[in-house]
Structure 1
Amino acid sequence: MRSISKQQQIQHLFWRAGFGATPAVVQRESQRSIKKVVRDLIHSDQSFAPLTVVDTSQLVDRKDLQNMVRTGLIDRTMLKQRLKENTEHIRDLNVLWVERMGSSQDVLREKMALFWHGHFACRVLNPVAVQQYLNTIRKHALGTFGDLLMAVSKEPAMLQFLNNQQNRKNAPNENFAREVMELFTLGRTDSGADGSANNYTEADVKDAARAFTGWGFNAQGEFMFRKNQHDDGLKTIFGQSGTFAGEDVIRLLLERKQTARFITTKLYRFLVDEQAANATARARIDTLADRFYNKGYDIADLLESILTADWFYEPAVVGNRIKSPVDLLAGMEHALGLQFEQKQSLIFIQRTLGQVLLYPPNVAGWPGGRNWIDSSSLLFRMKLPDLLLQAGQVTIRPKEDGDVNTELLSKRGKGSMQASADWKAFEDAFASVSTDKLPDELASYLLQQPLGAAQRAAVVKRIKPDSSRSEQIRLLTATIMALPEYQLC
């Protein structure tokens, strides 16, 4: 079986466990063992730092503002201004997070937070609630799944998004309980002959909804158990009976091995192979899921098991995933030290490519995989290096998603969408490479698959004989980044 070089292994690791790495980092880490590199990624010396753009004491959502209009506390002009400010705060949080992903700080935490954002998809228009939710998934991203599940389930943003604020005794709302089972823990399965799912029944959902009655939040954005709205009657969930509350439902879900298998499968698809359909992949997932369950849902331990496995570095696994729009954007930022002249450009790119952070399309998150690519998005992806590095003209419109909020977020003026790169740091990594070998060295760093002969010829044609070394590197870099193969990681 063909093996890959140590440099390719390191690049593969940093793409899957982060957003790529600078040439200097790749060169440095290639001298160390994979196990040591993985452990450093998991146990980063960076202490957790919340992302903050808005005062957490200002939890006022759209309904609160509309009530203030009705009671005369503010007029409609003030309402419009406050809603605009809310949208701008969420935009700023989005940009701050993308910039953090594009830095070298605690990249595995940010990559896993991106995974959990898709898993615990949540979309509300209150910037304080969004900020709290984002920092919760970032804080627990490498901890235990049990702590993460409990913390996210008690976030005001999630309780609002899944209507549990309206879940009351004598009028239960099943939305939150259903999604906790179907999307967060046990997974969707085909219905049986009796109309029930294999992993849970409709009766389980109904009684779990009763258990979650009373879970809500107050005006300060704090989780609150409203005892007078809680149904404290007998409930039966997964064959067990008791006067269960919400915390008991979470415990019962974690006791089921299907939860460990569902999370492991989803993470395997995120890190290794989106198909994961053959017998070999299923056997690997079974082994990983058993360990995950027996280790108390330790996320870091599961990651270490995957990222240090020999099969993780097999050629068939390398370069087999389409970069998500955020992977692509953060990866370019990371590789070249990009600084955007207009922060709005970051939102414009996300919306044009179909992934606006903090605005998932629905409770199931982004479908990913081949869904990232269509004719218009692929064209924009391949033009992006020229737009950013050569100040090219933007002629493509963002995708229509029917959402006025993302439309406002991504509005920008006509003309160029330029970013400045830290070219000196990038060029220094290739200082000792001869001119004739420069295309291959740059390609071996920028692409996860070897550069084909026809592609190499097309790339080399772009070199101007009378250009400076610096100009050659910049032009070759932009050219290679514009290849379809750059869309894979």
Structure 2
Amino acid sequence: MASLNPNLNVLGTVFAKHLLRRASFVYSKTIIDQFSVLTPSQALDLLLANAPLALPLPYDPTPTTAPDGFWTESTNIPSSFNNQNRKRSVIAGWWWFNAVNSPTLKFKLCHFLSTRFTVEKSICGAATYFYDHIRLLLFYSNGNYKSLAKKMTLDNSMLIYLNNTSNSKSAPNENYAREFLELFTIGKGPQIAAGNYTNYTEADIVQAARVLTGFRVKNDRTVVDAITGIPKGYNVYSSHDNTGFKVFSSAFGNTSIASATDAIGMDTELNSFVDMVFNQQATAKNICRKMYIYFVKSTISPEVETDIITPLANDLFNNGYEITPIIRKLLESQHFYDLDDSNATDETLGGIIKSPIQQISEIVTYLKATIPDPTTNSYEFYVNFWGNFVHDTFLSGANMILFDPENVAGHPAYYQSPSFDKNWISSSTLISKYRLGESLLDGFNRIRGNANLKAKINISDVIKNGNLISNASDAYTLTSELCNALFAQVPDADRINYFMNSFLLQGLEAYYWSSAWGVYLSTNNNSVVEPRLKLLVTKILSAPESQIF
């Protein structure tokens, strides 16, 4: 049976890699070595620790004659700044830089929450509203899912994205009410009749939309939430539906919510609605299923539903929807480390195809890519490296523009059954995914256009000085340790020999490499070792085994 009992053993290298990849966007040998002598509980103590942001604020270095700079802190109306699309990209770059400089669960949980409370950053209002949206996700990443659901209702980006800012008693708009139930919280459940989805009905959406009338965008960001310190929307009672009770179906126990009598009462009414939705066990189960798909694997068998999802959901429900205890229990469990069965066909290690953001984050952090410093070289980071290459070329080509999925359901990898994460691999994404490593190793955009990335993996220097390889002069050791680090599962000797002979030695004897490496160490001339290492690592990074984690 699948087991939530904790894995009490020391992690070791393989499980340390597994936990670090699933729980963080930082993947480094230093942390793997640190975790390998810890139990999962001890490693999670570190992963759940709070740390300040490496980059406190996003900075827009354009126009170069008079940069907009730290525009998110300006008192000017957010929409008054030029080029909102570029600024949204800047914010995504700010988030990613912090993510790859924070070896904690915070950013993985933040990204998970973004797959639940989805907005498309290109159509959610001014870039500064999107910045506030991301900060809200970060604030609750180690917090309370139910509280986030309440706060999200007055998030300026969400108010714009799902049109709730135009939802009024005289012109109801059901968009946000529908997605709040279907996507953000309880989920539909099996349809049992026309307009009846088990967990709620079409009539419930109508009543929810009535509750949600009158919440409006605050364009100047002058209304600030007392708990989060983040700007939010505000209540306009004259637009609120106060025409009697909002009565819900038997799916919610025929709950009746009294209408507010003033603007302050709108918050009380909202709280009653949210409490009603979160008082359903189905809500807790839906959230736990989504968490399992994101952090473990997309296949939820009847056994997993019974032994993992149900008890996790009970815990989530009973602890008031606090996120941290649940994710901790899941990532400590024997099931997460595949220690609860002997079935080799349902492995957890290597059980997920990497998202593009996971892929680039692993490569950059493990192979120590030299990227522009966003503080001292803001233009090179935000425009050349992040904007032109990562955001507009790699992520766009890999079909994962960060925080900008194709619709409110999010990226298909997180919701579209039965393919789920297999959606990351298609004929349209292969070039970007397979040429990412080559681009970073060359320092030029090999996906499209050949422009200078202003970033590079100096691979011979990394191997020499990065403490990644125990004996880099030995061709087999070098190849096997790179494969072990960059693949989710340990490859067999035949696979290692294939990479070593085909790309590092290229038909020569092993002593040739030992001699060439010795020359490099003594002269610092890398003209022989650099192209061979680049070819080897390029082929490892583009191998099928490198696409899973």
TM score, norm. by length of structure 2: 0.77
The equivalent of 1:69 in structure 2 is none
Decide whether aligned partners of structure 1 residues 59 and 180 sit closer, same or farther in structure 2, where only a CA change above 3 A counts. farther
Q: CA deviation at 1:28?
A: 1.9
Is residue 2:470 matched to residue 1:432?
yes
Is residue 2:452 matched to residue 1:421?
no
SS in 1 for 2:92: helix
The equivalent of 1:307 in structure 2 is 331
Q: Which runs of 5+ in 1 are unaligned?
A: 66-81, 397-412
Distance across 2 between alignment mates of 1:171 and 1:155: 21
Runs of 4+ in 1 over 6 A off after TM superposition: none
Cα displacement string for residues 85-104 of structure 1 (whole angstroms, at most 9, x for unaligned residues): 2111111111122222222x
Q: CA deviation at 1:234?
A: 1.2
The equivalent of 1:256 in structure 2 is 280
Q: Is the 8 A contact 2:436 2:447 kept in 1?
A: no
The equivalent of 1:406 in structure 2 is none
The equivalent of 1:89 in structure 2 is 87
Aligned residue type for 1:179: E
Aligned residue type for 2:430: L
Q: CA deviation at 1:45?
A: 4.2
The equivalent of 1:354 in structure 2 is 399
Distance across 1 between alignment mates of 2:183 and 2:57: 26
SS in 2 for 1:8: helix
Is residue 2:248 matched to residue 1:224?
no
Q: Is the 8 A contact 2:53 2:98 kept in 1?
A: no
Equivalent runs, 1:1-80 vs 2, <5 Å: 6-46=12-52, 51-53=57-59, 54-56=71-73, 57-61=75-79
The equivalent of 1:68 in structure 2 is none
Distance across 2 between alignment mates of 1:48 and 1:192: 50
The equivalent of 1:385 in structure 2 is 437
Q: CA deviation at 1:42?
A: 1.2
Cα displacement string for residues 1-45 of structure 1 (whole angstroms, at most 9, x for unaligned residues): 9x9971010100011101252112111221122210012111234
Decide whether aligned partners of structure 1 residues 425 and 393 sit closer, same or farther in structure 2, where only a CA change above 3 A counts. closer
Cα displacement string for residues 325-373 of structure 1 (whole angstroms, at most 9, x for unaligned residues): 1111111122123216622211111101001113121111101111111
Q: Is the 8 A contact 2:444 2:450 kept in 1?
A: no
Cα displacement string for residues 372-396 of structure 1 (whole angstroms, at most 9, x for unaligned residues): 1112422331222112102466355
Distance across 1 between alignment mates of 2:292 and 2:274: 23
SS in 1 for 2:119: coil
Q: Is the 8 A contact 2:389 2:445 kept in 1?
A: no
Q: Is the 8 A contact 2:55 2:97 kept in 1?
A: no
Q: Which has the higher contact order (CA 8 A, sep 6+)?
A: 1
Q: Is the 8 A contact 2:25 2:103 kept in 1?
A: no
Q: CA deviation at 1:283?
A: 2.4
Mean Cα displacement is larger for which, 246-255 or 417-426? 417-426
The equivalent of 1:236 in structure 2 is 247
Mean Cα displacement is larger for which, 381-390 or 133-142? 381-390
Decide whether aligned partners of structure 1 residues 4 and 32 sit closer, same or farther in structure 2, where only a CA change above 3 A counts. closer
SS in 1 for 2:256: strand
Equivalent runs, 1:19-418 vs 2, <5 Å: 19-46=25-52, 51-53=57-59, 54-56=71-73, 57-61=75-79, 83=82, 85-103=83-101, 105-123=102-120, 124-221=124-221, 222-232=232-242, 233-237=244-248, 238=252, 239-244=254-259, 245-314=269-338, 316-338=347-369, 339=371, 342-343=384-385, 344-347=388-391, 348-368=393-413, 369-391=421-443, 394=446, 396=448, 414-417=450-453
Distance across 1 between alignment mates of 2:52 and 2:162: 33
Q: Is the 8 A contact 1:392 1:417 kept in 2?
A: yes
Distance across 2 between alignment mates of 1:47 and 1:101: 9
From 504, 507, 513, the equivalent of 1:463 is 504
The equivalent of 1:451 in structure 2 is 491
Q: Is the 8 A contact 1:112 1:142 kept in 2?
A: yes
SS in 1 for 2:410: coil
Q: CA deviation at 1:243?
A: 1.4
Q: CA deviation at 1:300?
A: 0.5
Decide whether aligned partners of structure 1 residues 102 and 426 sit closer, same or farther in structure 2, where only a CA change above 3 A counts. farther
Q: Is the 8 A contact 1:383 1:482 kept in 2?
A: yes
Mean Cα displacement is larger for which, 93-102 or 130-139? 93-102
Cα displacement string for residues 287-336 of structure 1 (whole angstroms, at most 9, x for unaligned residues): 11101111111101011100100111117110110001111111112212
Q: Is the 8 A contact 1:387 1:394 kept in 2?
A: yes
Mean Cα displacement is larger for which, 464-473 or 231-240? 464-473
Aligned residue type for 2:504: I
Distance across 2 between alignment mates of 1:474 and 1:4: 34
CA RMSD of aligned residues (A): 2.5
Cα displacement string for residues 106-147 of structure 1 (whole angstroms, at most 9, x for unaligned residues): 531111111111111112241011000011001111101112
Q: CA deviation at 1:266?
A: 0.3
Decide whether aligned partners of structure 1 residues 51 and 108 sit closer, same or farther in structure 2, where only a CA change above 3 A counts. farther
Q: Is the 8 A contact 1:59 1:220 kept in 2?
A: yes
SS in 2 for 1:383: helix
SS in 1 for 2:335: helix
Cα displacement string for residues 258-280 of structure 1 (whole angstroms, at most 9, x for unaligned residues): 11110001001111111113323
The equivalent of 2:227 in structure 1 is none
Aligned residue type for 1:108: L
Distance across 2 between alignment mates of 1:416 and 1:48: 25
